[in-house]
Amino acid sequence: MIPKKKIVFLTGTRADYGKIKSLISSVQNSPLYTPIIIATGMHIIKKYGYTYEEILKDFNGIKLYKFRNDTVKNNTMDLIVSKTIIQLNKIIKKIKPDLFVIHGDRCETLAAAISCNFNNVLLAHVEGGEVSGTVDESIRHACTKFSHIHFVSNSKAKKILIRLGENTKNIHVIGSPEVDTMLKKDLPSIDEVKKRYNIKFKNYATLLFHPVTTLSKSQIIFQCKQLFKAITISKKNFIIIYPNNDNHTEIIMSFINSLKKNDRFKILPSLRFEYYLSLLKNSDFIIGNSSSGVREASVYGTKSINLGDRQKNRADQLQNVYNLSFNKKKIVSQINKINSLKKKISFNFGRGNSSVKFMDILLKKNFWNTSKQKYLI
């Protein structure tokens, strides 16, 4: 009997978990493979609700390794990368994966890319070739150079990988796997979402605002003052979701916490991915600097106010996205007129069949013989 191949998936945030969830599900349902999940980062932090427990509920009986990689006082990315590498080294040596799958541009992703290369593990990168306006782009492209196999969202991303010197035979356009989940017909209804999270609003907007690690403390404070003053002035209802646990997140949290006694704001540490999707789909609009305002919002046609440079170059060609600087008056003006704008749906990042394409590629004759020694093309 041929032993099942072990495929490891790494997740450090609620966002990247949502993006690879459909792939994990397909692997688990196959008789040929054994999926293994490594959960770290936000999943292991009490403030965000220990979301690794939700992963275990989603995948009953799956093998999950977890460890905490943040630091108490100085949560800078270099320290997170180093702590993650130390823990991954132990896990990789123990389980000896046949394939290690990473996603995107987080510091955990970079740590895994380094660990896999130095331990001679076949590495696949999901959604490389994307562009943005922060250090995330440098991390993403670095992970591309470490990766042996690439699963990208669209032809534009493929062209960027080719420009980076990657071999076209190892680049596979599968779309964004999160769209598989987004287009499912059994997502929770908005009434179920409101009941589960005690949301009293009939109409609302969603706010997701993350720290940009290349900005100074004073710059983050300025951005927060402009944004949070604007939403207070606007008189709209907002559902605010906690930011990522990156450096300076405590600054954003201080502004969020100042709104706790205001009835127009519902503050949530985290949501299950399917519940978040239903929330977003039914939002009047989303505001902030999250990729969700570019990627997920475009699939549903949810209008998006994208602030600053964090998603720079990602949102330029999407008709549902309105790009603004951090200017209180401009933000209020856009909020007040956004409901009059038309809903515009885009499928730039796939049509909901990414997991099928992913599994088909795993079955290709030469996939598992992909060379781990790379050469510049």
Mean pLDDT for 151-158 is: 96
Mean pLDDT for 146-163 is: 97
- Structural domain includes residue 375: no
Are residues 61 and 101 part of one domain? Answer: yes
Query: Residue 67's domain is classified under what CATH number?
Result: 3.40.50.2000
- Structural domain includes residue 376: no
Are residues 357 and 255 part of one domain? Answer: no
Residue 74, pLDDT score:
66
Identify which of 357, 270, 344, 205 has the alpha carbon closest to the alpha carbon of residue 18: 270
Confidence tier at 144 by pLDDT (50, 70, 90): very high
- Structural domain includes residue 377: no
The percent of residues above 90 in pLDDT, for the chain, comes to 84
For residue 146, how many other CB atoms are within 10 A of its CB? 19
Residue 289, pLDDT score:
95
Are residues 277 and 167 part of one domain? Answer: no
- Structural domain includes residue 154: yes
Are residues 199 and 109 part of one domain? Answer: no
pLDDT tens string 293-343: 988 999 999 999 999 988 877 766 677 889 999 999 999 999 999 988 888
Are residues 204 and 316 part of one domain? Answer: yes
- Structural domain includes residue 98: yes
Are residues 336 and 197 part of one domain? Answer: yes
Residue 245 reports pLDDT greater than 90: no
The C-alpha atoms of residue 183 and residue 173 are separated, in whole angstroms, by 19
More confident call, 283 vs 2: 283
Are residues 336 and 212 part of one domain? Answer: yes
For residue 74, how many other CB atoms are within 10 A of its CB? 9
The C-alpha atoms of residue 131 and residue 311 are separated, in whole angstroms, by 8
Residue 315, pLDDT score:
62
Confidence tier at 133 by pLDDT (50, 70, 90): confident
Residue 2, pLDDT score:
77
Are residues 122 and 67 part of one domain? Answer: yes
- Structural domain includes residue 124: yes
The C-alpha atoms of residue 275 and residue 186 are separated, in whole angstroms, by 11
Are residues 332 and 207 part of one domain? Answer: yes
- 196 with 49: CB under 8 angstroms? no
pLDDT tens string 181-221: 999 999 999 999 999 999 999 999 999 999 998 899 999 99
Residue 132, pLDDT score:
83
Residue 76 reports pLDDT greater than 90: no
Are residues 123 and 29 part of one domain? Answer: yes
Mean pLDDT of the chain: 94
The C-alpha atoms of residue 146 and residue 369 are separated, in whole angstroms, by 17
Residue 342, pLDDT score:
81
pLDDT tens string 350-361: 899 999 999 999
Total of domains in the chain: 2
Residue 161 reports pLDDT greater than 80: yes
Neighbouring-strand partners of residue 268: 241
- Structural domain includes residue 265: yes
Q: Containing domain of residue 218, as a range?
A: 190-340
- 346 with 298: CB under 8 angstroms? yes
Are residues 223 and 147 part of one domain? Answer: no
- 294 with 311: CB under 8 angstroms? yes
Are residues 323 and 360 part of one domain? Answer: no
- Structural domain includes residue 240: yes
